[in-house]
Structure 1
Amino acid sequence: MRRFDYSFLNNGLLPAKLVNLTASITSLKTIAGVRKEEYVRVFTELEAIAKVQSVKSSNAIEGIVTSDERIAAIVNQNSAPLNHTEAEIAGYRDALNEIHLGCEHINFRRSDILRLHEMLLSAAGHEYGGRYKTDDNVIMEVDAFGNRKVRFSPTPAAETEAAMEQLELAYLDACGDANVNQLLLIPCVILDFLCIHPFRDGNGRMSRLLSLLLLYKSGHDVGKYVSFEEQINNRKAYYYEALRRSSDGWRTNENTYFPFIENFLSTLYMCYKELDKRFAVVHGRKITKKARIESTVLNSLTPLSKAEICKILPDVSPTTVEAVLGAMVKAGAIKRIGAGRASRYAKA
C-alpha cells in the first residue's frame, strides 16, 4: 500500500523557487488582510462574483457546462436546475456554500469529506454520493487520434478506505509539526487524494473543494474573492502536466510532489496578484470604482482594452468603465489607441 509521509517538508531541502513563492504569497496575504478589514463592501461584491466563477470553472473542467446566465441564476438561487447538467452545477454550489459559511467547523476527516461528497452529488440524484467507490477505477487519456489508454491506476476499491484513513492521519501528523509549512503541505495532501481517487465520480471537483477548505483553514481565503478554480481552468494544460509528473511512480512511493506543489502555489499566487490588481491605488485613498478604474489604467505597463479592465475589475459594470475611460481621455490623463473594439488605453 502507498505510504503517506510528509516529513520531507521538514528537512530544509526544498527548492528555492517554492520557498520564494510562499514568501511572495505571505506578503500579498498580509496586504489583502488589511484591505479586507477596510473595504468590507468591495470584498462582499468580489465574493459574490468569485462564487459564480468558481462554480462555473470547476464544473467546466469536468465538461459540465451551461450558459453564463443559467450559471448565475443557479448559484444565486434565482432558479431551480432545469436538467441533469444544471443539477450537477447546483451540487457544487451547495458544497461550496457549506465551505464558505462553515469552514471552521469542517475538517479533513472521513465524516466531513463524505458529507461534502454527498452534498456535491445529491442534487443530481446520484445514489453513490457520500460513499467510497466499490469498483476499481482508472484515469484514461485520449490521444490526438482518439485512441484511449490508461494514464494512471488509482488505489483499488478494496484499499480505498484504509488509504483515506492513512492520508487523514498523515495530514494531522504534519499539521502538528510547527516546522512544516502548511502552504507546502496542502498540495501534497490534494495530490494524494487525487491519486487515491476514492469516489466513483466527483473526484476532481472534490479535490478543488478540499483545496479551498484547507486553504481557508490555514488563513489563505483569497479563493473567496478571486476564483481559484478559474485560475486552474485558465491554465489546465499546465495543471494536468504537473499532476502527471507528480503522480508518476506514486503507487511505489517513488514520485516527487514538487511539480504539483509548484503549480498549486503558482495558482494561489495568481489569485493574490489578481486581487492586488483590483486595489492598485494610493494607500489611504478611498477606493471608489472610479478610482480603481483610473488606477488600473494608469499603473498598467501595457495598454488595456475595456474588456481587459472589466476582467480585472469584475464588480464594475462595463458602462461605468466606459464612462470613466471617456472622461480620462477628455481630461488628457490617458490616450486611446486604435478604434472600436480594438481600442486600448494607456497613460498619456
Structure 2
Amino acid sequence: MRRFDYSFLGNGLLPANLANLTAGIASLKTMAGIRKEEYIRVFTELEAIAKIQSVKSSNAIEGIVTSDERIAAIVNQNSAPLNHNEAEIAGYRDALNAIHLGYEHIHFRQSDILRLHEMLLSVAGHEHGGRYKTVDNVILEVDASGNRKVRFSPTPAAETEAAMEQLELAYLEADSDAGINPLLLSPCVILDFLCIHPFRDGNGRMSRLLSLLLLYKSGYDVGKYVSFEEQINNRKAFYYEALRRSSEGWHTNGNTYFPFIENFLSTLYMCYKELDKRFAVVHGKRITKKARIEATVLNSLTPLSKTEICKILPDVSPTTVEAVLGAMVKDGTIRRIGAGRASRYIKA
C-alpha cells in the first residue's frame, strides 16, 4: 500500500519558485486581513458573490451546469432544484455553507469527510453518499479522436478505508509539526486524496471543498471572497497537467508533489491578487465604489472595458461603472478608445 509521509516538507529544501509564491501569498494575506477589518460591508458583498461563483465553477468542472440565474436562486435558497443537475448544485451549496460557517469544528478526519460527502450527494438522492467506493474505479483520458484510455488507477476499493486512515494520520502528524508550513501540506494531502479517489462519485468536488477547509483552518480564507474553484476552472488545463505530473509513480512512492503544490499555490496567489485588484486605491482613502472604479482604471497599464471592470469589481453594478467612467472621460482623467461595446478606457 502507498505510504504517506510529509516529513520532506520540513527539510528546508523548497524550490525557489515555491518559496517566492509562499512569500507573496503571505504579504497579500496580511493586506487582506487589514482591509477586512476596515471594510466589513465590502467583504460581505464579495462573499455572497464568491459563493455563487464557487458553486457554479466547481460543478461546471464536472459538467454539471444550469443557467446563472438558476444557480443564484439555488445558492440563495430562493428556489428548490428543478432537475438532477440542480440537485447536485444544491448539494455543493450545502457542503460549502457548512465549511464557511463551521470550518473551525470540521477536521480532516474520516468521519467529517464522510459527513461532507453525504451532504454533497444527499439532495440528489445518491445512496452511496457518505460511503467509500465498493467497486474499483479508474480515471479515464479522452484524446482528440474520442478514444479513451486509463490515465490513472486509484487505490482499489478493498484498500480505500485503510488508505484514508493512513492519510488522516499522516496529515495529523505533519500538521502538528511546527517545521512544516500548512500552506505546503494542504496541496500534498489533496493530491493524495485525489489519487486514492475514495468515492464512487464526487471526488473532484470533494477535493475542492477539502482544499477550502484546509486553507481556512490555516488562516487563508481568501476563497470566501474570491472563488478558488473559479480560478481552477479558468485554468483547468494547467490544473490537470499538474495533477498528471504529480501522480506519476504515486503507487510506488516515486512521485513528486511539487507540480501540484505549485499549481495549488498559484491558484491561491491569483485569488489574493484578484482581491487586491478590488481594493486598488490609495491606502487611507475612503473606499467608496466610485473611488474603487477610478483607481482600477487609473492603476491599469492596459485599456480596460466596462465588462472587465465589472469582473474586477463584481459587487459594483454596471450602471455605476458606466456613470463613473462617463464622468472620468468628461473631466479628462481617462480617455476612451473605440466606441460602443468595443470601448476601452485608459489613464489620459
Once structures 1 and 2 are overlaid, which stretch shifts more, 278-287 or 211-220? 278-287
Q: How does 1:111-260 map to 2 (within 5 A)?
A: 111-260=111-260
Displacement of 1:328 after TM fit? 0.4
Q: How does 1:78-97 map to 2 (within 5 A)?
A: 78-97=78-97
Which residue identity does 2:57 align to in structure 1? S
Q: 3-state SS of the aligned residue for 1:125?
A: coil
Displacement of 1:239 after TM fit? 0.1
C-alpha distance after superposition, 1:63-94 (max 9, x if no partner): 00010000000000000000000000000000
Displacement of 1:12 after TM fit? 1.3
Q: How does 1:256-275 map to 2 (within 5 A)?
A: 256-275=256-275
* Residue of structure 2 in register with 1:315 after alignment: 315
Which residue identity does 1:295 align to in structure 2? A
C-alpha distance in 2 between matches for 1:9 and 1:16: 14
TM-score by length of 2: 1.00
C-alpha distance in 2 between matches for 1:176 and 1:95: 26
C-alpha distance in 2 between matches for 1:76 and 1:92: 13
C-alpha distance in 1 between matches for 2:183 and 2:10: 13
- In the alignment, structure 1 residue 109 sits paired with structure 2 residue 109: yes
Which residue identity does 2:124 align to in structure 1? A
Displacement of 1:13 after TM fit? 1.1
C-alpha distance in 2 between matches for 1:179 and 1:280: 35
Aligned structure 1 segments of 4 or more residues deviating by more than 3 angstroms:
none
* Residue of structure 1 in register with 2:289 after alignment: 289
Q: 3-state SS of the aligned residue for 1:141?
A: strand
Q: 3-state SS of the aligned residue for 2:126?
A: coil
TM-score by length of 1: 1.00
C-alpha distance in 1 between matches for 2:147 and 2:284: 58
* Residue of structure 2 in register with 1:329 after alignment: 329
What runs of 5+ residues in structure 2 fail to find an aligned partner?
none
Which residue identity does 2:294 align to in structure 1? E
C-alpha distance in 2 between matches for 1:59 and 1:41: 28
Q: 3-state SS of the aligned residue for 2:325?
A: helix
Q: 3-state SS of the aligned residue for 2:336?
A: strand
Displacement of 1:14 after TM fit? 1.2
C-alpha distance in 1 between matches for 2:209 and 2:126: 18
- In the alignment, structure 1 residue 340 sits paired with structure 2 residue 309: no
Which residue identity does 1:135 align to in structure 2? V
C-alpha distance in 1 between matches for 2:93 and 2:322: 32
Q: 3-state SS of the aligned residue for 1:47?
A: helix
Which residue identity does 2:27 align to in structure 1? S
Displacement of 1:215 after TM fit? 0.1
C-alpha distance in 2 between matches for 1:214 and 1:225: 16
Q: RMSD across aligned C-alpha pairs, in angstroms?
A: 0.4
Which residue identity does 1:27 align to in structure 2? S
Report the identity percentage.
Answer: 89
- In the alignment, structure 1 residue 64 sits paired with structure 2 residue 64: yes
Q: 3-state SS of the aligned residue for 1:267?
A: helix
